[in-house]
Structures are given as C-alpha cells and as structure tokens.
Amino acid sequence: MSSKKYPLSGLRVLELAGLAPGPFCGLLLADWGATVLRIDRPGFVPTGDLLTSHKSSIALDLKDAHSQEILLSLIPNTDVLIDPFRPGVLEKLGLDPEKVLLKTNPRLIVGRLTGFRRDGKYSAMAGHDINYLAVSGVLSLFGPRNLPPSPPQNILGDFAGGGHAAFTGILLALINRQVEGRGQVIESNMVDGASYLATFPRLLTQHPLGNDERGNNTFDGGCPYYSCYECADQGKYMSVGCMEPQFYQQFLKGLGLEPGEAVPGDLDREDKRAWPFMRELFARRFRTKTRKEWEAIFDGTDACCTPVFELSELKAAGYDQRPISGLSKTPAKEIESPYEGKALRPGERGEEALKEWIGWRNGREYAVNAQGAFVKRVRSQL
C-alpha cells in the first residue's frame, strides 16, 4: 500500500453496489484517499459499473444470515456506508441504519441516496435521471424552443445532483463528527440535488435574463452572443459567451464586423428583436472558416470564444481530465484512465480487504460458496 497521504487517508467506506450515483460518490471518496470496499451481489461476472478506480470488492448475499454477518462484522471498523437502494430495502434486510447500523457503530455515517424523495408521491416508483430531472423542474430548462425538453445526458441527476451531492453530505457529516464524535444518517436524493443546482435559473425566472419561454433567454440558447456556431468543417463548433461589452467588442473584431453591422436599425444587442438577425449573421460568418482557423483568430483574446472540444479531443488539446479540485499539499490520487473504465469482478481484491480491515482470512473466519458469496464460517466449521 502507498504511504502517501491524501485528504481522506484512513477513511474506510463500504459501498453497497449500485449504478451511477452511488459508485460515483464512492469514486470521489476513493480518489481522495479513502479505502472503499464495494459490497457486490454474488456472482463471478463483472457488473456494468465502470466507476471502480481504487476500489476493492466482496460479494455478499445480504438475504443470507451467514453472509450478512460479514457486513455486520465490518461495521465497527467502517466510517461511511453508501446506501443506493430504494426506500425500505435496508430495513427489510434487518439493516435499519438507526436501529442496527448506528447502534453497532455510533460513529458510522450512512449516506442514503435515492432518485425520488423518500417522502414524495413517487418514492416507491422506479426511475432514471430523466425522471428525477423532470419532477425537479430542471429538465424543463433544456432544449430548443418549440420542441420537447432534451435530457443533458445523465450528468445533472445521477452525478451532480446525486453522487456529488451525497459526497458533499458525507464530507459535512465527517466535519460534524470531528466536533460531536458521532455519526448520522444522510438523506440525499437526485430530485433535491438537481433542484438545488438550479437555484440561479430559478431566481432568473423573475429577471429579464430568464423570464421568457425556454430557448428565448440569455443562457439557454436564445441569446446570439451566448451560443454555439457550426464552422466550415461540418460538425465542428465554436462557443460564444461575450456578455460584457468589452468582450463583445473583441468578438466582433474577430469576426471582422463593426458594431453597427451586427444589429439591425437602431436596436441594441440586448433587444430580443435584434437576436434573429444577429444569430443569422454570426452563423454565416462562422461557416466561412474551419474551427482551427477560428481558434487561431480568437486564442489569446478576451472575446470569450472557444472551440467546442469533443471528449476524444481533450488529450490532444491539453485538456485531459484532472481531479475535481487541485490541493497543493494533499492532492487526489491519479486518475487511472479517463476513457477506459474497468469493471470490477465481484470479490476482486476482497480477501486482501478483509484481512486489512478485520484480520480475517479465507478458510478461517469465512469461506466463498459456490455462488461466489462470502459467508462467515459457523463455529462447527472452525
């Protein structure tokens, strides 16, 4: 094991296996130095989860008492448990966070992460990112006018409003534990997480910047100087965000336009009646050069005009993935591979983890059954 110190070095996390938000929360903890042990379902085939960097796995059948006993034996040595299940699942398994888990370890932090609110009308229903964004009001913000809303991949619900929000809650609980000496249960859900991220757009609904229909506002694609334009090489785009007058002037200079040419008649650029004319004018100009040619014009200026890189272009452009924050004294672990997620096989590196966490060895305190589940050996087997 590395002796290097990270911000969360020494923190032990049990991540009950799920997809997307729960594993992302565990990944953030692992990247910053926590020891993350994922609890997988029994089996020998890797799951579809690719957010496995710096993690280990054991396979437990939580409906089996001998297998569940291993989880309960780990709890006294655990700082954080990530619960990605629907409301009531842990309780049905006899693992109620307040009545069982925190009674076993009062310093434990249980991060519970659901899609819908636990107390809302959809709490018992299945859902995905698009559904959580829909009922949070956030989905209504995305997409061109006069067309249905467009889901922004699953970034805002699963990862920002879900996994990252849960990570933030865990960090807050860890700070509180330093003061009060005890853990607690954290209730996170993707509806409230995404809704909180949309605080500013919600406030803008009472302001001229954002009080119009979707696609007609400053930051949602309506404004011609806060938008994207296709270049001469089809499928390549430049982004424009020159809100301030001095930046707008530099933008027009790069396009080879005088201020009076960019707006019709005696209108100014903030008048929405001028926007269709401006958009068409800018679109025609951008189609006269390739993206590389526009980069050469705008690089090094304050025109707020930059290329829209595709994910496959980031490395060559010098913008490959880095940790979410750069700490000068206690940085995150290295990102193993930004483009090649590795599925973790249930039980992978699990024997080493159990030995490190509680000193158990395969064949002595536990065994692995034919289904791949780790089970505690009963006294008659010892």
From 129, 158, 192, 220, the catalytic residue: 158
Residues 169 and 54 in one domain: yes
Residues 193 and 334 in one domain: yes
User: In this structure, what are the phi and psi dihedrals at residue 232, rounded to the nearest 5 degrees?
Assistant: -60, -30
CA distance 332 to 337: 14
Residues 94 and 164 in one domain: yes
**Does a structural domain hold residue 312?**
no
Q: How many domains does the chain have?
A: 2
Residues 17 and 40 in one domain: yes
Strands 35-40 and 109-114: unpaired
Q: Which domain holds residue 298?
A: 226-230+237-307
Task: Specify the DSSP class assigned to residue 117.
Answer: -
Structure tokens at 192: 């409230």
Looking at residue 26, which CATH number applies to its domain? 3.40.50.10540
**Does a structural domain hold residue 214?**
no
Per-residue pLDDT of the chain (382 residues; tens, 9 = 90+): 455 789 999 999 999 999 999 999 999 999 999 999 999 999 888 888 999 999 999 999 999 999 999 999 999 999 999 999 999 999 999 999 999 999 999 999 999 999 999 998 999 999 999 999 999 999 999 998 889 999 999 999 999 999 999 999 999 999 999 999 999 999 999 999 999 999 999 999 999 998 899 999 999 999 999 999 999 999 999 999 999 999 999 999 999 999 999 999 889 999 999 999 999 999 999 999 999 999 999 999 999 999 999 999 998 998 888 888 999 999 999 877 777 888 899 999 999 999 999 999 999 999 999 999 999 997 655 4
pTM of the full structure:
0.92
Residues 114 and 62 in one domain: yes
Among the listed residues 187, 189, 198, the one whose alpha carbon sits nearest the alpha carbon of residue 125: 189
Among the listed residues 111, 278, 235, the one whose alpha carbon sits nearest the alpha carbon of residue 183: 111
Residues 109 and 256 in one domain: no
Residues 278 and 366 in one domain: no
Residues 80 and 151 in one domain: yes
Residue type, 340: E
CB 339 within 8 A of CB 30: no
**Does a structural domain hold residue 182?**
yes
- Is 212 assigned a catalytic role? no
Residues 326 and 301 in one domain: no
Looking at residue 290, which CATH number applies to its domain? 3.30.1540.10
CA distance 250 to 272: 21
